[in-house]
A and B are shown apart, each in its own frame.
Chain A
Amino acid sequence: MIVELGHMALIIALVVSVFQTIIPLYGTACQQARLISFACPAAIVQFTALVLSFGALINAFVTSDFSVANVAYNSSFLKPMLYKVSGVWGNHEGSMLLWVLILSFFGASVAIFGGNLPEILRARAIAVQGLIGASFLTFIIFTSNPFARLIPAPIDGRGLNPLLQDIGLALHPPILYLGYVGLSTTFSFAVAALLEGRVSQLWARWVRPWILAAWVALTAGITLGSIWSYYELGWGGWWFWDPVENASFMPWLAATALLHSVVVVEKRNALKRWTILLALVAFAFSLLGTFLVRSGVLTSVHSFAADSQRGMFILVLLSIAIVGSLSLYAWRAPKIESSGTFLLISREGALVINNLFTVTGAGTVLIGTIYPLFLESISDEKISVGPPFFEATFVPLMVPLIFAVGVGPFLAWKRNNLVSALHNLIFATVCLVVVFVCLLGAPIGAVFGMALAVWLMLAVLTEWAKRVRLFRVSLFASLSRARLLPRSAYGMSIAHFGLAVFIFGAVGDNLYSTEVVRYASPGDKIKIAGHTLTFQSVTKQLGINYDAYVGKFVMENGQVIESERRFFPVEGQQTTEVGLSVRPSGDIYTVLGEAVAQDKWTIRIYYNALVVWIWIGTALMSVGGLLSFLDARLRIAL
């Protein structure tokens, strides 16, 4: 019964979203206030219906109702409760439902929190949001119904892919989707602005919090995914340039560019058309990511479902959204006028450089991800690219970007002298050279990366010191200046500092990590990166829904690291749980391989240098974004 109600709520949401699109758009066209004011309640009703629908699906999973096909295929009695719930989005149908739920959440947020927006802009944005919702709800109801029944109902379900039974993965999809779909709001605002044919500085101020919210969620979501693949897949790496990772990285890059260009619109009334275009492209990347993951055009470890009918459907949606919005852009954008002018050496100039390189980076990732398809469709030639491609093309693009990140904040708006800005960076640059020389001997690219990370950290600190006039005025005066700095200033500094910390970790991992693979019996000692581990024992243990072999390793200081090899009988799969000792200098990461003989096991031990700084760096970036977000909200309330 509850399942049917959920299904019903889903259909109601579709009907409401259709009206949510048509009525306000018609209302704005013929200027009928009553029709325009239909937008907000519709967005809230659509969200409520989807909450009910999603709740019904969660209920089916929690009560293990195997007469629902989706539950039978993706859950089982024995699964721990947390994973029964996270199983809701651990499959194609459920994750699409989560997608539209979040979409309608943003629609409803605009309705509830957008009181300061002009009525017409808000109605149009909500209508566009409704259109996206209607398309995806059609997709779900006709091709991927999560409430389809299975007759006869099986006694037990097939279980969830054990790799997905993990706390990191319980959180990763909802947060990532929050970011992916969050860009829909910016998209809707951009389309609304195009319909209006006008972009004001206020427009930039209104959309900025939405961009920030999406950006923070994307950053956190990608980080969680990366942490998950680091400790769950047991391959010692944290980023594989896998198509699905790329699918989330491209919107992130576009959102990063957007975040910076919208500041130029707000402060200087320039770069308007470009910003609108970026807003459209950023969401197009989100849709493209959804398409790549859901259609099976690219095979990847992540994709749960490969189905060409669904692929076709999403592709049609993608085409309509992209072609439609870009046609609108081609038609209306020439009307939008920018008044601000600036020279290349200025704050705006640095932000343009940021945009240039992040967008080129996104393009590079895009090419690396779909190039095999592209080339085949035009020449029938078949090729394959892997991490070597991205390391050769994407990474070098980031170098000038990082310089711009360091120098940009020292530049004034409109016009500036590069020499006087660089004057501030003498100390940082000297340190860059010192670090570079000290580390020489290792691969030159990595050494340069390390030096660059240190340079950027110092550049950010110098900029902060300059703002509070540290050592120029009394310490007390500096402190009170520091307290008065706006939150967004701290947001920027912290996020930039986080980027530097991230580079430090990523390059350090590349430069200093080592690994040992060998056969070992209990009692053997294994040396790695100055540590000695004793492989102590392997014991058999029973988990809730799995059997496990637990390998015990002891470090020289007595710390015990346990890693497991789990066998899930319901799903018929094995997973490895790595043993991890996290430390600032580098993680010790142990993997228990297969038994090769009685009491003889394949053991893999990695020393992953400085990896923890990668997560700290991205966490700082998220915190920085969050601070700016809070600041922006404060300003809107005024």
Chain B
Amino acid sequence: MIKQTLSAAALAAAFIALPAQAVEYGTVQVEKTQVAFTYKQMNVPIDGKFKKTAASIAFDPAKPQAAKATLEIDLASIDAGSQEANDEVAGKLWFNTKAFPKATFVSSGVKALGNNRFEVAGKLTIKGKTQDATAPFTFKQDGANGVFDGTFTLKRADFAIGEGMWADFGTVANEIQIKFHVVAAPAAAAKK
């Protein structure tokens, strides 16, 4: 018992010392990770989210240039604001989820912007189309975990999301705000 407490204390001490010793965050906590979005239809803002995502991260705040991240979104897990919308966006004109079940992001580089702010660049693939994407994000420590929060604007037309009668932006706007919230534990603490 006492030993366990001691080793827990030692572990805690190690985490408190984090900023000094570069620690790499590598174990994504899926249940705390979320990808949400906001879009506008008839200028009415609607919030949605993806319930299932998978991510891998290797991020050391001291060496951001060496960081790597991939994000995989299960498009069928979408909550687009209503059941009617969920059914609609699974179809061919939108995500065509049957043929393209996942959206992926693979980073190519991360640079520090200062003040715990960073920018990740990479390739975003949705519906068989790959585009360069960059997203600013902030990094925070929350206890032992690293928390990454970022937003960027996706233009749905770049990925043919909403074709045919939906291609016009008069009803559903082209710009979609994407918000991501990723929580990762230090790579070494994977068992925790």
Asked if A and B bind, the verdict is no
A residues near B, CB below 8 A? none
B residues near A, CB below 8 A? none
